[in-house]
Amino acid sequence: METDTGFLKALLQSLSTAAAVIRTDDWSVAFENATFFKWFATSGLDEAVSERVAGFDTTAASARLEKGRAYSIDVEVTVGPRTLPIAVTVRSLGDAAPGLAMLEGINIGKQREAEYMLDSYSKLAERNARDLQREKERVEKLLLNVMPRSVYEEMKNFGTATPQRFDQASVLMLDFVDFTEMALARDPGGLIAELNDIFTALDRIVELFGCERIKTIGDAYLAVSGLPEANPDHIQNIARVALRVRRYVERRNASHTETWHCRIGINTGPVIGSIVGVQKYVYDIFGPGVNLAARMEALAEPGTILMNEDTYALLKDDFLCTELDEVDVKGFGRQQLFRLDGEMAHARGH
C-alpha cells in the first residue's frame, strides 16, 4: 500500500499542472505537487485551500461535490513577473478515497491567447467586412451618378451593359448664356460653387419627375425621360422638368445679386443609350433625338424653352405653347419652332 502511495505521489509530482489532494471535511490540503505549491504559495501553516486559492468557495464546492459534480473556477496567480490564468477544478474521489477530492489547476494562458487572437481576427474580419461594404456603397453611389440604376445592375450582374435603342425618348438640353465671359470675369471658386448649387437643384427636379440626368459638360446639362425604362409620359415629364427648371432659375435670380440665364431645348425622338469607356465608365446617349434637342437649345432665346413641331404635337393638348418662325436647322432641314410657355390647369398635378 505504501508502495502504491509513493507511486501516486511520484506521478502527481511529475505533472506540469497543479495537483492537490483535498480533505473535504475542512478543505485542508493533504498532498500537493510542486506546481501547486509554486502557483498557490503557503505561509507555512495548515491553511485551507480557500486561503491559498483566491475566490475558492468551500460552501459552493461542497454543494457541487455532494451532487456528484465538479466545482470549477478561473483564477489568476502571480509567478515572478508573470500573471497566469489558471482553471481550477475539484472532483470527489468517491468510494475510492472517501472524504478526499482531487484538485487540478491548468494554465490556460495559451488557450486565452488563442481566444484573444481568434477574437482579434474576428473583429478585424468584421471591420474589414464593414470597410468593404462602405467601399462598395461608395463605388455604387459614384457609379449611380454616371449611369441609371438598371444599367448599373446589368453591369454588376453581367460585367457589361448592352447598348439599347429607344425609338421614343425625350431629351432636355440646357446651358447658360455668357457662361464663358462669367468664368473669365468672376472668382472661379465662387462661380463653380454657384453652378454646383444650381445643378444640384436641377438634379432634384429631374428626379422628382422620374427622369435621368445623363451628364453635365461645363455649364451644359443633359437629361432624358423614357430610358432606360420606357415611360408613356416621357415628353410630359421632360416638359414639366423644363418649366420647373426655368422657374427655379428665375426665383434664384430674384434672391441673388448674380443672375443666371438659361436656354433650354427639348425634343422627342430615337435615342441610343450605352456605356462608353473601359477604365472610366460613362453612360451616354446618342442619336437624332439628342442632336435635335441640342439644336433647339442653341436656337432658344435666354429664358425660353424651344421645341420643334413634332414635339409640340405631343404637348399641345396639355401645355401652353407659342408658335415661332420656321428656320433651317443644321442636319434637320426646315423646322417650325414652338416655345413652351406653361402647363394647362387641367394637366397640373399629373
Cα dihedral 298, 299, 304, 308 in deg (nearest 10): -110
The answer as to whether 314 is a domain residue is yes
Give yes or no for residue 106 having a pLDDT over 60.
yes
Specify whether the CB–CB gap between 338 and 313 falls below 8 A: no
CATH of the domain at 232: 3.30.70.1230
Which tens digit of pLDDT belongs to each residue from 242-292?
999 999 999 998 888 888 899 999 999 888 887 776 666 677 888 888 999
Nearest to 84 by CA among 49, 54, 58, 60: 54
Mean pLDDT of all residues in the chain? 85
Q: Kindly state whether residues 197 and 97 are assigned to the same domain.
A: no
Residue 121: pLDDT band with limits 50, 70, 90:
confident
The answer as to whether 169 is a domain residue is yes
The answer as to whether 117 is a domain residue is no
Q: What is the per-residue pLDDT for 4?
A: 55
> 4-38: b or e for each residue (b if 16 or more CB lie within 10 Å)?
eeeeeeeebeeeeebbbbbebeebebebbbebbee
**Rounded alpha-carbon distances, angstroms, from residue 295 to 130, 153, 195, 237:** 48, 33, 23, 20
Give yes or no for residue 159 having a pLDDT over 80.
no
Which tens digit of pLDDT belongs to each residue from 297-322?
999 999 999 999 999 999 999 999 99
Q: What is the per-residue pLDDT for 350?
A: 55
Give the end of a domain, one of 69, 87, 107. 107
Q: Kindly state whether residues 89 and 182 are assigned to the same domain.
A: no
Give yes or no for residue 144 having a pLDDT over 80.
no
Q: Please give the DSSP secondary-structure letter assigned to residue 38.
A: H
Helix (H) or strand (E) holding 95: none
Report how far residue 101's alpha carbon sits from residue 20's, in angstroms, rounded to the nearest whole number.
8
Nearest to 297 by CA among 328, 341, 258, 266: 266
Cα dihedral 310, 311, 316, 322 in deg (nearest 10): -90
Q: What is the per-residue pLDDT for 323?
A: 93
Residue 129: pLDDT band with limits 50, 70, 90:
confident
Cell of 95: 468510494
The answer as to whether 204 is a domain residue is yes
The answer as to whether 114 is a domain residue is no
The answer as to whether 134 is a domain residue is no
Q: Kindly state whether residues 167 and 37 are assigned to the same domain.
A: no
Give the end of a domain, one of 107, 137, 171. 107
Q: Kindly state whether residues 199 and 342 are assigned to the same domain.
A: yes
Q: What is the per-residue pLDDT for 23?
A: 92
Strand-pairing partners, residue 268, are 170
Question: What average pLDDT does the segment 177-195 reach?
Answer: 77
Report how far residue 31's alpha carbon sits from residue 331's, in angstroms, rounded to the nearest whole number.
107
Structural domain that includes position 173:
159-347
Q: Kindly state whether residues 176 and 72 are assigned to the same domain.
A: no
Q: Kindly state whether residues 22 and 171 are assigned to the same domain.
A: no
The answer as to whether 125 is a domain residue is no
Report how far residue 271's alpha carbon sits from residue 79's, in angstroms, rounded to the nearest whole number.
81
Q: Kindly state whether residues 93 and 198 are assigned to the same domain.
A: no
Which tens digit of pLDDT belongs to each residue from 37-52?
889 887 666 678 988 8
- Helix, strand, coil percent values for the chain (each to nearest 5): 45, 30, 25
Specify whether the CB–CB gap between 267 and 311 falls below 8 A: yes
Helices (DSSP H) in the chain: which residue ranges?
2-13, 34-39, 49-52, 58-66, 109-144, 149-158, 179-185, 188-208, 234-255, 288-299, 309-315
Give yes or no for residue 131 having a pLDDT over 50.
yes
Q: What is the per-residue pLDDT for 2?
A: 47
Q: Kindly state whether residues 77 and 205 are assigned to the same domain.
A: no
Specify whether the CB–CB gap between 242 and 340 falls below 8 A: yes
Q: Kindly state whether residues 190 and 310 are assigned to the same domain.
A: yes
CA 161 to chain centre: 24
CATH of the domain at 94: 3.30.450.20
Q: Kindly state whether residues 174 and 277 are assigned to the same domain.
A: yes
Number of domains in the chain: 2
Nearest 5°: phi and psi at 80?
65, -130
Nearest 5°: phi and psi at 301?
-80, 155
Residue 189: pLDDT band with limits 50, 70, 90:
confident
Give yes or no for residue 11 having a pLDDT over 80.
no
The answer as to whether 236 is a domain residue is yes
Q: Kindly state whether residues 272 and 205 are assigned to the same domain.
A: yes
Q: What is the per-residue pLDDT for 278?
A: 61
Q: Kindly state whether residues 51 and 178 are assigned to the same domain.
A: no
DSSP codes, 204-233: HHHHHTT-EEEEEETTEEEEEES-SS--TT
Which tens digit of pLDDT belongs to each residue from 201-252?
999 999 999 898 888 888 899 999 988 778 888 999 999 999 999 999 999 9
Q: What is the per-residue pLDDT for 1?
A: 43
Q: What is the per-residue pLDDT for 307?
A: 94
Give the end of a domain, one of 107, 124, 150. 107
Give yes or no for residue 143 having a pLDDT over 60.
yes
Question: What average pLDDT does the segment 126-151 reach?
Answer: 77
Question: What average pLDDT does the segment 194-199 reach?
Answer: 89
Residue 103: pLDDT band with limits 50, 70, 90:
very high
Neighbours of 93 (CB within 10 A): 15
Which tens digit of pLDDT belongs to each residue from 13-22?
767 789 999 9
